[in-house]
Chains A and B, each alone.
Chain A
Amino acid sequence: MPTTYQNPRYPFRRPKGLGALVPEAAPVVIAGAGVVGLTLALDLARRGIASVVVDEDDTVSYGSRAICWAKRTLEIFGRLGLGDRFLEKGITWSRGRVFFQENEAYGFDLLPEQGHEYPAFVNLQQYYAEAWLVEACEATGLVDLRWKTRVTAVAQQDSGALLSLTTPEGDYQIRAEWLLACDGARSTIRQGLDLPFNGQVFRDRFLIADVVMHAEFPSERWFWFDPPFHPGQSVLLHKQPDNVWRIDFQLGWDADPEVEKQPERVISRVKAMLEGASGMAAPPFELEWVSVYTFRCRRLEKFRHGRILFAGDSAHQVSPFGARGGNAGVQDADNLGWKLAAVLAGQAPEALLDSYDDERIPATDENILNSTRSTDFITPKNPAAQAYRDAVLQLASTHAFARPLVNSGRLSRPATLHASPLSTPGGSGLALGAPPPDAPVLNAGRAEWLLHHLGTDGDFTLLCFGAAPAEVPAGISVVLVTEDEQPGALWDHAGLVALRWGAAAGDALLLRPDQHLAARLHRPDAAALRAAHDRALGKP
């Protein structure tokens, strides 16, 4: 049990529907109050959409679990008003180092350029993220969090889903017009619908040891292949807040999980690692959380099933190397929130939600591909794979060309929605479907970040360079960026907005409420804007 964190206990409130003869009706039900479910609930609430969130437990995550929050995730949490908390509490890092046997093979920097609000990564225990999301959800007054409420059955209906729930005070049912299944890798909803969830199983086991100690390692990701203190296997070290360190030991397929979890055994592994890595006596440490895991890479064939939509681990799973699980889940939520809100507000047809599959399935496949490749490098499957892996590491310390071949995890990058049917073809510059590059701007003399101005009112944004069109349809907010200081405009004083977006004077870029690029227009008239806006809303 963690010693640095006390799990909050959220109260069970007796729901009105308990004991009622007819099922309770709810427009939106979210199954699972994890990172993904809570992010969706918060995003929907900020768009004025109420939801009921059910979770079988009454607290946040046990143990640190997901710890690496990627830049795009931080930007999304920034849009939802939580970004500063991550920056204040979390451990910021962008550098990684890779060691092979006794020596450093190479180091890398994931965000070498300046001028972004958020770093490449912030490390933070999952329970903090969830607790803050719960707080933020409660503050909206639109999220009905129902703890100690387990889904026992689900029946799909044309008009939504009928959920059977069990609570400490009895059972009841909810008829949901929309059901968002964010109930994790063992999703009850997925199993209830009997949806195939297939993919590759990896024959390897890993041990997570979170330890509390005062150590002198820098805020970097350190990865060892075949180190003397853990021969033949890999080890990963990450720093977390509260003096907690994540050490991840590869164990091999034959390891016995029960034996490996025994504290004496974990302590001796950690001690050997600390002494081996620093060349000094290990500092005193305490075990905070221990877990032995295996993993697989798999996904649902489709994430939308009528009015039931899957997001996060219930829809897809990857290996942890690359931090592509939790971060992908938050991007799912980011993608789905505005679309569902637009459909519920009558601004878009239900077909808009098909684009969730069109956009997030390629993104998932990209994550699975990267994750599978990393795993193949970290866990060689035969002597030839072992030879190639070691050859790459041998060459990497002296030959720059071999360094990009080293794969200790390809760390999460936001998906560019290349094949999106919502994008209007044409124009040039930043790729259509791309996530928004941040940049510093001056707003009436104040230093601010561009991303704070994009989609924060929930609408589409027209990012205009130099001049704004005379007529802009409703539902689109204009943000004007200028090369020199002008009233009512953001001053691109460093020139980084134009550079990073690949834009020139007269360009008008249409951004969706999730800030992804939907159209690259030049001095558009109202008809062109309306067409691009309609297309991005899935209108025929």
Chain B
Amino acid sequence: MLRTEDRLTDPDALYEALMQAHRDLDPAASRRLDARLVLLLANHIGDMAVLREAIALAAATATGDKP
């Protein structure tokens, strides 16, 4: 079961860390960074049902994105 309630003790710090990691990267390198991050976190979670739920939820909340 994917947990979607607020769990971060310091959301601003997470956001800042992500921005920091992307700061000097071109768009392709940025994409690879995000992909590595997703893969590392996916492996940490390790539960395919939770991951599928997260993928579906992410795909469903793309407000304003063009298909």
1/0 contact trace for B15-40 toward A, CB 8 Å?
A: 00000000000001001111110111
Which residues of A368-409 are within 8 A (CB) of B?
383-384, 386-388, 390-392, 394-395, 399, 401-402, 405
* B31 with A383: CB separation less than 8 A: yes
Q: Which of A387, A392, A399, A402 contacts B34 (CB 8 A)?
A: A387
Q: Point out which of B33, B36, B38, B40 has the most chain A C-beta atoms below 10 A from its C-beta.
A: B36
* B28 with A391: CB separation less than 8 A: no
Which residues of B8-67 are within 8 A (CB) of A?
28, 31-36, 38-40, 43
Question: DSSP class of B's interface residues: helix, strand, loop or mixed?
Answer: helix
Q: How far is the CB of A437 from chain B (nearest CB, A)?
A: 28
Place the interface of chain B in its size category: 10 to 19
Residue of B nearest to A392 (CB): B39
**Distance between Cα atoms of A405 and B38 in the complex (Å):** 13
Q: Point out which of B33, B39, B43 has the most chain A C-beta atoms below 10 A from its C-beta.
A: B39
Q: How far is the CB of A389 from chain B (nearest CB, A)?
A: 8
B residues at A contact (CB < 8 Å): 28, 31-36, 38-40, 43
- Excluding A383-B28, A384-B35, A394-B36, 7 further A-B contacts by CB distance (< 8 Å) are A387-B28, A388-B35, A394-B32, A395-B39, A399-B40, A401-B43, A402-B43
A residues at B contact (CB < 8 Å): 383-384, 386-388, 390-392, 394-395, 399, 401-402, 405
Question: DSSP class of A's interface residues: helix, strand, loop or mixed?
Answer: helix
Q: How far is the CB of B51 from chain A (nearest CB, A)?
A: 13
**Distance between Cα atoms of A384 and B39 in the complex (Å):** 13
**Chain A residue contacts of B28, Cβ below 8 A:** 383, 386-387
**10 interchain pairs (CB within 8 A)?**
A386-B31, A387-B35, A388-B35, A391-B35, A391-B36, A391-B38, A394-B32, A395-B36, A399-B40, A402-B39
* A405 with B31: CB separation less than 8 A: no
Q: How far is the CB of B60 from chain A (nearest CB, A)?
A: 17
**Chain A residue contacts of B36, Cβ below 8 A:** 391, 394-395
Residue of A nearest to B35 (CB): A391
**Chain B residue contacts of A391, Cβ below 8 A:** 32-33, 35-36, 38-39
**Distance between Cα atoms of A164 and B21 in the complex (Å):** 70
Residue of A nearest to B40 (CB): A395
Q: How far is the CB of B39 from chain A (nearest CB, A)?
A: 6
**Chain A residue contacts of B39, Cβ below 8 A:** 388, 391-392, 395, 402, 405
Q: How far is the CB of B44 from chain A (nearest CB, A)?
A: 9
Q: How far is the CB of B53 from chain A (nearest CB, A)?
A: 19
